[in-house]
Amino acid sequence: MTRSTIYSLLVSGMLLVSQNSTAQSDQINDTMEGSVSTIDGYVPSMSITKDGKTAYFSKGTYEKPLYGVFSKKELVYHIYRAENINGEWTNITQLEVCPKHYSAKHPTVTGDGTRLFFASNMKGTFGKYDIYVADIAADGSVGVSKNLGPKVNTKEDELYPSIYNETLLFFASEGRDGFGGLDLYASQVVKNTLTTSVNLGAHINTNSDEYAIQLSPEKKMGFVVSNRGFNNTVSQYTVAYGRSSKRDQYNDVADGGTGLQTAMNGNAYDYVDTSFQDED
């Protein structure tokens, strides 16, 4: 994945997200929140439950590896939960969603706060980073992390999961025969079943890296974060996935939408009921 020089993307800082932001809101802004770093590339903002009370985010720290007394410290990512109390994010807690010395990052929570999706390189992955899911109990505790299986994960990286409308999982993958770099895919996830992953198509994916997509249903627009800019700079691009009277107001609008429309249609593919396997 190409690394970018440090600069502000659209809205800086995970913990500077407005207290009124909701990851699952029906009203989606025309910009996506996140930041850019030389280490991580695109860094998504916090994922917040629909009631605005709980947020999840990831952060990397340098730690000594499991083996090698004189080995250099390695960058390890952890997922944290924060609570909104009187308008301030507090009670920040690290979640144990993967074994020590492994990384977990890019968390996204369903609007009702009952499921957490994230990327991890823990033992048992199909390759590098895989997408996992864990149930969240009423008391906030997180259950066993479950690998989404080969319908989503490959021998390469699967990153940046995000949930739309509770069941449509978007994620970036570089392990399939796509258009190059990280491509955006989607799968319908219902209870413990999911559909075959669908590439969102050439109107969204390019030979560069596409990190994330956010939909604006009212405008029939999608906002895509990609490094397709000059000198691989990371920025936001706008795509149309249906008829829209406001198309002409946006730059970099691409027509089409077959792949995205297919992904949004849960009846397009048979569900697979054996993908959520508990990891030891």
CA–CA gap between residue 160 and residue 106 (Å, rounded):
5
Most confident of 6-10, 19-23, 79-83, 180-184: 79-83
CB 209 within 8 A of CB 2: yes
Confidence of residue 277 (pLDDT cuts 50, 70, 90): very low
DSSP helix/strand/coil, 262 = helix
CA atoms of 184 and 168, how far apart (whole Å) = 13
Is the model more confident about 36 or about 13?
36
pTM of the model: 0.78
Report the share of the chain in percent with pLDDT over 90: 48
Pull the structure tokens for residue 104. Answer: 């977990």
Quote the mean pLDDT of the chain: 77
| CA dihedral (142, 102, 2, 197) positive or negative | negative
| Mean pLDDT confidence for 225-234 | 84
* pLDDT-based confidence at residue 236 (cuts at 50, 70, 90): confident
Please give the full DSSP string across 166-229, using - where no structure is assigned.
TTEEEEEESSSSSSSSSEEEEEEEETTEEEPPEE--TTT--SS-EEEEEEETTTTEEEEEES-S
Place of tokens 């977990």: 104
Q: What is the pLDDT of residues 68-126, one digit of tens each?
A: 666 789 999 999 999 999 999 999 999 999 999 999 999 999 999 999 999 999 999 99
Predicted pLDDT of residue 10: 24
